[in-house]
Amino acid sequence: MPPNNAEQPHMTGEDRLKITRRNLPHWQLTGRTYFITFRVTTGQLSSDERKIVLDHIRSGHQRFYDLIAAVVILDHTHVLLKPNDGMDLGRIMKGIKGVSARLINQLRNATGQVWLDESFDRIIRDQAEHDEKLAYMIHNPAKAELVPDGWDYPWLFVATSADG
């Protein structure tokens, strides 16, 4: 059996469902929406660092994915997105985490790992789950007692029809 951290791809159903596993399982299904969570290695992100992360996530909208929502909390980030056709979720996450880490390190005048290697991702199965994850993201800053109302949190993005 391969080491626990080795990529182990399995393809089923006309190569549409891709399953890999490191410490966590990762399922990719063409045309689906994902709820993704990733965490900092240590400490917390400053206001400027949270802005960097959110701005970078937003910059990939339409180019690489359809961004539905994103929220950057002190020590973790939640994203709700649908990859564009032909885009691999692992590659999208490598881009989000890699570029934002580089930008944060530039701001800090530092080097080193900003994010934990692995992210949690979940395929959204239906509209009810989509709505539940979106509500969770909107209310997460208030739950963390960062603002009274999640809608007032500066590092929350929820797409509108004007966002394309």
DSSP state letters, 80-134: EEEEPTT--HHHHHHHHHHHHHHHHHHHHT--S--B-S--EEEE--SHHHHHHHH
Q: Which one is predicted more confidently, 47 or 21?
A: 47
**What mean pLDDT, rounded, does the chain reach?**
86
H or E segment to which residue 138 belongs: helix 127-143
Q: Which one is predicted more confidently, 151 or 121?
A: 151
> Helix (H) and strand (E) counts for the chain?
3, 8
pLDDT attached to residue 43: 95
Q: Residue 56 above 70 pLDDT?
A: yes
In the structure, what pLDDT confidence band is assigned to residue 14 with cuts at 50, 70 and 90? very low
Distance, in Å, from the CA atom of 139 to the CA atom of 158, rounded to the nearest integer, reads 12
The reported pTM is 0.82
pLDDT attached to residue 164: 60
pLDDT attached to residue 3: 40
